Amino acid sequence: MTFVAPSRLLQAEPVADGSFWQWLLALGREPGVVEFGLSLLVLGTAFVFWWRMSALVRDARSRQALADYLLGVEQALHGDLDGAHARLQKVVQNDPENHYARLLLGKVLAQRGEAAEAHKQHVVLKTAFGIDSDENDLMLAESLLAAGQPREAAEAAERALQRTGDRADGQAFVYRARLQCGDFAGALPAGRRLLELLPDGAERQRHRQGLARTMALAGGERARAGDVAGATALLRNAERLGANNDATRLLAARLSAAEQGLANVTAALLAPQAPVPGNRLPIPAAARPLPLANVAPPQAVAGLVPPERWRCRACQAPLADRLVECPHCRAADAAELEEPLLVADLTSPLQAMDAIDVNEAHVQRLVRAVLDGEPADRERARGELLDLRTVAVPALLRAAWHAHGPGQDTLVGVLRAMGPAIAPALFAASDDLAHQRLLPLGSRSPGALVGRVVQGFDRSALPHVEPLFASARPEHRKILIDFFLGLHDTTQFQLVLERFPPTEIVHRLNKADAEVLRRFLQVVPPGHFIAEVLLRESTFGRDDVLLAAIPGADHPEVLRSVMVARGASTSAVTALIAGLAVAEQAADAEHILGELGAGALEFVLAAFADPEVPADERQRLQRVLVRCGPAAVAEICDSFGPEPSAFDDALREVLVGIGDAAVPALQAAYERSGWLERVSIGLISRHTNRRVQIVLALRAIGSAAAQSALHELADAERDANLRLRLQEALHELQARSRAPGGDDGPR
Amino acid sequence: MGLGDALRRGIAAPFKALLPKNPWLRVLVYALPFVLLLALFSPALDAVVKLVELVLRLLEPLLQTTLGRVLLLLATFTLGGMFAVWLLRARVRDMRAEAALGRHLRAVAALVGGGKRCRELFQKVARYRGQPPTRYAHVVADADLKLARLALDAGRLDEALGWLARVIEPGLPPELLRSLLQLRVRTWRRQGGILPGALRSEIERAVARFPKDYTLLGEWRDLVQHDGDANAYAEAQERVLAQAPPAAAARERQRWIDALVAAGAAAVADDDREAARRIGKKLARADKDGPSAGLLLGDVQRAAGDLRGAVRSWGATRSPQGLDRIAELLGQHPGAIDPRELLECCPLQGTLLLVARELARAGEPARAERAARLAAEALGPTTTVCAVLAEVLELLGQEGKARLLREQAVARLLGPALAGVPGSGAGGGT
């Protein structure tokens, strides 16, 4: 036996015309080559075997708490979460490098509802140990979802699935997480991939229908964003999946409406058994009945809304009941009512039933709402009261009778707005109220209120009012007068003049609403009995309304003459002075005050003395005083105070305005002693502010008469100071007259 | 110890140190002097020489050919290997056990980590028939269980049963025994191959052994549910809920409520009001914020002929189901309750619809119309409102208004999606 040397083996060349295999065959024929190769093979195999065994043994020996680990895994698998948790915790503590134990611990923690702890374990694996595992990433995403962060969970899971996209559980997770965020478009890729991965069966069929609904909802979002083409494409895809759900039908109907107009599609849907043009999904002919109605819903909406009462807040899927977990997206406590208002609390069932019965309590509530409610409630209550009309009249009248001020005006306004048709009910209610009064004294009768109401009616109420002429009841007489006042027609008012004594009429005039009376007075013609007699009665006390009626009156001169004729009574002058402050009435008031002359002087002067009177009003008062002439001088001079003041200047202006006519009166006033001088018998100086102001007024008038008066006064004056003042005034007047262009006229 | 003993030990100590530990080698060392002694005797030595020559003559032809040399080489390796294994058999046994454990760990890692080779690895472990590893003696049973679980999850029920059948039950730790019982029960139930009585006894035995096992209780619950005894099913579900992990608690609670509702309905149907009331109390505990207890109470009252009480109980639930039942009652007993009382019993906005329909049926058009208007103002043109009010308006002879209401409902449904779509013609509002 001869063994070939290794060096020779290496030197063996392949034959020139042969291939590699021939060379190999030749090499194998060399003695010892095969044996050598076999030896190497056997030894190599033995080494590999040994090496692999060693690796397994090394792995096994490197694990600490091995039994705990393996039993913990089994406990986790069979659902003994507490046992698994305890064991795996121990394993992780003793063998922190056991990543699988940590991963499983994370799963166990998640199942125990400790999402935050589970998340911590997965984060440790990913960041501290740098484990880049799909499983860990998916568990990380699940813990995020359990912690209520569906969007972050979906993104984490999508990142994990980029490496291995063929995991059905991963795709299902992403689909659910996206649905939980309400991101229907985002859920579609995962949903489609999941459909491909799921094996045929009930679950796949369920997912198919769910995916079709998600597509329809995503299409609805596209449609709302204005992308009709995108919505249509999604609808087609949903149809391809064999969708037959409300969401798909609704999207189809909405897109039809977008294409053909809402009115057309609505009409088509409402037409019995008529297919909607362009809508390939037929509306089911026999809709499921709505339990509450126990009748079929309108055909038009039958297939467009789910019959379920609940839906998932996250994924909008219909739910059979208030489920604690949505079976579609697994969102917890996401059930919400489809029509929540159905079970919303009724604020007050009593009030609701009262509103249905329209009983007295309801009307009273409406009346209260009109008086005290919020603006919206007030308007609603007013509208309802106007609808109720005669039913609401007694309550309204009673409330108005008890109310005061603006509240009463509001209620009277409501009654007036109801129109003349309520007149009989109004009178009946008034009679009832009057009967209910135990002590008529001390409270206003309801007739007055009714009168106010009927004043707002027009002639169409005449047929309802005329029967009251036959009544002897004082209430009805008042109502009649008020009604005719409200008509603003002196011809119709003739009926009243013929049937009622003037005193009674004047009494109603005094009680009438200012606005009603004003409008009535504005139509009074010249020479009418009203102007000639009634308005001139001293018992008539509505001078303010009389003055206010002049600007818009058909015959203003009639009213002016009435006011002048009524004289300077306190009420008249007060009204006139007040009228000076009103732009529309100021001219008339000034004119009439001027006509009244000295009678109104004291009042005018008192008003003029008021420091708070505005400038234009003061001007008017000044003009009235000037117009009073010499008669006003004595009063004005008595109005000078003991000490000089700004008001003295204003008074002097009035005196200057009167001019020469005021000179004799001024001179007389100068010579007249005041009451203090008379009492003190010369002990008090004559040098008073009153005389100084008179001197200044005369100097300001500056006419020849004024100079003459100053001379006379200076000659007669014994008081040195006053004489000095008089001489100063004279000196100034002489200097003024000597000056070039000097004017002798009053200043 | 005498001096003689000490001397003897001192002399023997170097030899003892040099002697091999292996007893066979030790025997060989002991035998060597005797073999040398025998070699001095020619016949014995000749016999040995002859024997060697015989062996060489046998090997000679083999050494001449490549095949022979290969065979010799293989025989040498085999014998050498066997001898080595025989010599190191304790170490080899340990190493095999540790290797099986290592393979099992890898399989578990693949299972936990979502790897795909776990089934193959578990199968290798399951084939292991050597000495069990000291650190985890149940490695094979564990692998069998995991293989059974994988097969069950994949729907291969016969295979799962096969793996389960290989598990030796006596001596299993409780953790593995629990898995075994769980898997066996689940597999039998899904396979449906054994008689119901045997399955029941199997499940009951398992539940008796592990009374707090959520999965076993769930299987038992399903079995009870299949029997059709609603009350027993509800009780079984209550036990399941008590052991449910937090992640599944909500689902199980919902199932318990459903079971109680079904049990309540069955009790009402059987006219067993006492039982129904008991179930109602449980429902009140189970569904504190829900309407089911009130609904059941109303059902009981209705069964007892107390229609007003029933309406009151249903109304107090403030739920759509309560409204539905009141509607059904009024449909069957028109005028059973005055509208005012109805509103007081069930103070919900939806009740206005019922009041409107009651009044319309009673021939009170004005009141019915006002109620309908109130309802429409409060609720808006939703589907239910549209349906009920259309009926009311038709009863009142106002078909035109009914049609208008339907149009509003349709426009409301179609309108919102069209906002922003050019040319849709939808203004948005209804």
Alpha-carbon gap, residue B348 to B317, rounded angstroms: 10
Task: Find chain B residues with C-beta within 8 A of A74's C-beta.
Answer: 142, 145-146, 175-176, 179
User: For residue B117, what are the contacts with CB-CB under 8 A and spacing of at least 6?
Assistant: B107, B110
Task: Find chain B residues with C-beta within 8 A of A295's C-beta.
Answer: 387-388, 391
Q: Enumerate the β-bridge partners of residue A295.
A: A290
- Band of the pLDDT at A273, cuts 50, 70, 90? low
Least confident of A55-64, A237-246, A436-445, A728-737: A436-445
- Read off φ and ψ for residue A310, nearest 5 degrees: -120, 160
Residue B138's pLDDT is 92
* Whether pLDDT at A203 is above 80: yes
Residue A391 to chain B, least CA–CA distance (Å): 14
Using the beta-carbon criterion (under 8 Å), do A34 and B66 form an inter-chain contact? yes
* Whether pLDDT at B131 is above 60: yes
Residue A432 to chain B, least CA–CA distance (Å): 27
Whether residue A337 lies within 8 A of chain B, CB to CB, comes out as yes
Least confident of A497-501, A569-573, B36-40, B270-274: B36-40
Residue A458 or residue A102, greater confidence: A102
Task: Find chain B residues with C-beta within 8 A of A331's C-beta.
Answer: none
* Whether pLDDT at A416 is above 50: yes
* Residue type (1 letter), A223: A
Alpha-carbon gap, residue A313 to A4, rounded angstroms: 86
- Band of the pLDDT at B410, cuts 50, 70, 90? confident
Q: Which residue among B179, B353, B387 places its CB closest to the CB of A77?
A: B179
* Whether pLDDT at A445 is above 80: no
Q: What percent of chain B has pLDDT over 90?
A: 32
Task: Find chain A residues with C-beta within 8 A of B413's C-beta.
Answer: 250, 253, 301, 304-305
B383, B394, B406, best to mutate vs chain A, most A CBs in 10 Å: B383
- Band of the pLDDT at B181, cuts 50, 70, 90? very high
Using the beta-carbon criterion (under 8 Å), do A294 and B328 form an inter-chain contact? yes
Task: Find chain A residues with C-beta within 8 A of B95's C-beta.
Answer: 53, 57
- Band of the pLDDT at A293, cuts 50, 70, 90? very low
Stretch B212-228: mean pLDDT, rounded? 91
Stretch A97-101: mean pLDDT, rounded? 88
Residue A7 to chain B, least CA–CA distance (Å): 20
Using the beta-carbon criterion (under 8 Å), do B347 and A345 form an inter-chain contact? yes
Using the beta-carbon criterion (under 8 Å), do A258 and B213 form an inter-chain contact? no
Stretch B67-81: mean pLDDT, rounded? 89
- Band of the pLDDT at A746, cuts 50, 70, 90? very low
Using the beta-carbon criterion (under 8 Å), do A110 and B339 form an inter-chain contact? no
Q: Which residue among A75, A226, A269 places its CB closest to the CB of B410?
A: A269
Using the beta-carbon criterion (under 8 Å), do A266 and B407 form an inter-chain contact? yes
Alpha-carbon gap, residue B209 to B320, rounded angstroms: 45
Whether residue A724 lies within 8 A of chain B, CB to CB, comes out as no
Residue B419 to chain A, least CA–CA distance (Å): 6
Residue A296's pLDDT is 46
A115: closest chain B residue by CA: B247
Using the beta-carbon criterion (under 8 Å), do B413 and A304 form an inter-chain contact? yes
Alpha-carbon gap, residue A390 to A402, rounded angstroms: 19
- Is the full-model pTM beyond 0.90? no
Residue B358 to chain A, least CA–CA distance (Å): 12
Using the beta-carbon criterion (under 8 Å), do B388 and A83 form an inter-chain contact? no
Using the beta-carbon criterion (under 8 Å), do B349 and A341 form an inter-chain contact? yes
Helix/strand/coil (H, E, C) string of A308-322? CCEEECCCCCEECCC
Residue B122's pLDDT is 93
- Band of the pLDDT at B79, cuts 50, 70, 90? very high
Whether residue A327 lies within 8 A of chain B, CB to CB, comes out as no
* Residue type (1 letter), A329: C
Using the beta-carbon criterion (under 8 Å), do A356 and B370 form an inter-chain contact? yes
Per residue in B345-394, pLDDT (tens digit) is 888 888 998 898 889 888 888 899 889 888 888 888 777 788 788 888 88
Using the beta-carbon criterion (under 8 Å), do A60 and B135 form an inter-chain contact? yes
Using the beta-carbon criterion (under 8 Å), do B246 and A290 form an inter-chain contact? no
Residue A495 or residue B256, greater confidence: B256
Whether residue A211 lies within 8 A of chain B, CB to CB, comes out as no
Token pair in block for residue B308: 């007003």
A173, A353, A365, best to mutate vs chain B, most B CBs in 10 Å: A353
**Is the distance from CB of A609 to CB of A639 less than 8 angstroms?**
yes
Residue B357 to chain A, least CA–CA distance (Å): 9
- Band of the pLDDT at A437, cuts 50, 70, 90? low
Alpha-carbon gap, residue B417 to A706, rounded angstroms: 94
Using the beta-carbon criterion (under 8 Å), do A38 and B73 form an inter-chain contact? yes
Residue B163's pLDDT is 95
Alpha-carbon gap, residue A196 to A206, rounded angstroms: 13
Task: Find chain B residues with C-beta within 8 A of A38's C-beta.
Answer: 70, 73-74
Alpha-carbon gap, residue A355 to A364, rounded angstroms: 11
Task: Find chain B residues with C-beta within 8 A of A269's C-beta.
Answer: 410
Residue A478 or residue B132, greater confidence: B132
* Whether pLDDT at B429 is above 60: no
**Is the distance from CB of B341 to CB of B312 less than 8 angstroms?**
no
Stretch A129-151: mean pLDDT, rounded? 83
Residue A292's pLDDT is 45
Give burial (CB, 10 Å; 0-12/13-18/19+) of A192.
middle
* Whether pLDDT at A303 is above 60: no
Least confident of A90-99, A274-283, A501-510, A659-668: A274-283
Residue B74 to chain A, least CA–CA distance (Å): 8
Using the beta-carbon criterion (under 8 Å), do A258 and B413 form an inter-chain contact? no
In A419-550, the DSSP E strands lie at none
- Band of the pLDDT at A277, cuts 50, 70, 90? very low
Residue A678's pLDDT is 67
Per residue in B16-36, pLDDT (tens digit) is 777 777 778 888 888 888 887
Alpha-carbon gap, residue B407 to A301, rounded angstroms: 10
Residue A572 to chain B, least CA–CA distance (Å): 55
For A323-348, b/e burial (b = at least 16 CB within 10 A) is bbbbebbbbeebbebbbebbbeebee
- Band of the pLDDT at A300, cuts 50, 70, 90? very low
A330: closest chain B residue by CA: B251
Which of A97, A126, A108, A99 shows the shortest CA–CA distance to A72?
A: A108
* Whether pLDDT at B159 is above 90: yes
Residue A276's pLDDT is 45
Token pair in block for residue A409: 């005006």
Using the beta-carbon criterion (under 8 Å), do B102 and A55 form an inter-chain contact? yes
* Whether pLDDT at A283 is above 70: no
Question: Could you give the 3-state DSSP secondary structure of residue A138?
Answer: helix
Other Cβ atoms closer than 10 A to B92: 16
B417: closest chain A residue by CA: A224
- Band of the pLDDT at B422, cuts 50, 70, 90? very low
* Whether pLDDT at B420 is above 60: no
- Contacts across the A-B interface (CB distance below 8 Å): 312
Residue A218's pLDDT is 92
Whether residue A300 lies within 8 A of chain B, CB to CB, comes out as yes
User: For residue A682, what are the contacts with CB-CB under 8 A and spacing of at least 6?
Assistant: none
B178: closest chain A residue by CA: A78
Residue A293 to chain B, least CA–CA distance (Å): 5
Q: Enumerate the β-bridge partners of residue A477.
A: none
- Band of the pLDDT at A497, cuts 50, 70, 90? confident
Degrees to nearest 5, angle at CA B297 with B294 and B298: 85
Q: Which residue among B246, B340, B418 places its CB closest to the CB of A258?
A: B418
Stretch A143-172: mean pLDDT, rounded? 84
* Whether pLDDT at A199 is above 50: yes
Residue A70 to chain B, least CA–CA distance (Å): 8
Compute the mean pLDDT over every residue in chain A, rounded to the nearest whole number: 82
Using the beta-carbon criterion (under 8 Å), do A295 and B347 form an inter-chain contact? no
- Band of the pLDDT at A641, cuts 50, 70, 90? confident
A54: closest chain B residue by CA: B99
* Whether pLDDT at B185 is above 90: yes
Task: Find chain A residues with C-beta within 8 A of B387's C-beta.
Answer: 290, 292-293, 295-298
Stretch A351-379: mean pLDDT, rounded? 88
Q: Which residue among A254, A258, A341 places its CB closest to the CB of B379?
A: A341
Whether residue A272 lies within 8 A of chain B, CB to CB, comes out as no
